Amino acid sequence: MENKLVDLLIIGAGPAGISLAVEAEAAGLAPDKIMIIEKAPEHSWMIRSLYPGKKVVTANYKGITAICQGVICFSDSSKEETITFLDKAIKKTGIKVQYQEEIRLIKRLGDKENHLFELVGTKNTYRSRIVAIAIGIFAKPAKPDYKIAPELKSNIHFDITSFSSKNEKILVVGGGDTAGEYAQFLVQQGHEVHLSYRKNTFSRMNPINRKSTLALHDRKCLNILWESNILHLSQGEQHKICAHFQEELYGQKEYDRIVYALGGSTPENFLKSAGIDFHEDVPKIDHKGESNIPGLFVTGDLAVGKKGGSISTAFITSRNTIKAICRYYLNCKVKDK
């Protein structure tokens, strides 16, 4: 099946993709000329799947000032409030979102004067004048270097929404904001929680998470295993998982579950297959989010790298991207606030 030609095709229905679509419609692009492709069954899937129900979704994640520059503005909200906010933003524009469709290949068909892309998905083929990739850094959760035996995988997790349990001994592995938030949530649920981190300080956490996590440790509600490294896992007694630590101080410890919060990996192969150049492990884009392929943009987390992860910055990069798209490529105009 081949879909009709659109002006702007956005890959990813998270905060960056949704805000870019909203900005595009507000700038004068017809809703039927904008399309969002999302591989998950619903929009904002990472928020839905990785965030616990009571977690506050912050606008200024990692301490980045939340400045509203575009059409839609966001303030600290609950998980459900955030999803509802983004859901209303989509519905208000009338823009179509094609769910459960993954783009496997992006091919440029046009020349420098006539921009045209063909996108091959798992179900359909699409054509668009301009393409914006807004899939985020956390397209795939990072996994440990050591192998995890099949018999252990039922109690190995990369988020905390994939299981429901009570009074368990759980190990969280990681030292960033997600690890801290997971540990805090699991403590609140009444579990005995250990947090394994390879360094001796939480340099990657924002100040709020760092303070909260350390406070739990000081009150002996959370056991932080500083400078700890897991060599491998094995089957423990009574279906528990045994973590074998490199450090003699920790030795071997058994847990009911292990939750990894090691961050995400840039979808490098997908971007490179589209012809996007990289600098080390970061896609090379200019200040407006455009890659070395004219008309192919990168927005959201991928545009701001490790300092990203914020809905506020996702909205800002989307605003900058639509300004460039309207100025250089499409018949639209971004109105000043």
| Segment 106-163, tens digit of pLDDT | 999 877 667 899 999 888 999 999 999 998 765 567 789 999 999 999 999 988 877 8
Q: Which domains does the chain have, with CATH numbers?
A: 2-140+264-328 (3.50.50.60), 143-260 (3.50.50.60)
Report the pLDDT value the prediction gives residue 305, as an integer from 0 to 100: 63
pLDDT of residue 1: 47
Q: What is the largest CA-CA distance in the chain?
A: 66
Q: What long-range pairs does 207-213 form, CB within 8 A, spacing at least 24?
A: 207/63, 209/177, 209/180, 209/181, 209/184, 210/180, 212/180, 212/184, 213/180, 213/183, 213/184
Distance (Å, whole) CA 261 – CA 144: 10
Looking at residue 290, what DSSP letter applies?
B
Give the N- to C-terminal CA distance of the chain in Å, as an integer. 41
pLDDT below 50 — which residues of the chain? Answer: 1
| Residue 51: predicted pLDDT | 72
Can you give the C-alpha Rg of the chain in angstroms? Answer: 22
User: Which pLDDT value is given to residue 236?
Assistant: 94
Tokens of 147: 């192998």
**Per-residue confidence (pLDDT) for residue 60, from 0 to 100:** 60
As a whole number of angstroms, the distance between CA 201 and CA 29 comes to: 48
Structure tokens at 115: 């921009």
Contact in structure between 233 and 255 (CB atoms under 8 Å): no
Give residue 215's pLDDT.
Answer: 97
The pLDDT assigned to 266 comes to 64
Query: Pairing mode, if any, of strands 117-121 and 230-235?
Result: unpaired
Cα–Cα distance between 310 and 301 in angstroms, integer?
Answer: 8
Given the DSSP bridges, would you call strands 278-279 and 125-133 parallel, antiparallel or unpaired? unpaired
Closest by CA to 59, choosing from 70, 67, 51, is 67
Residue pair 30/24 in contact by the 8 Å Cβ criterion: no
The predicted structure's pLDDT at residue 140: 61
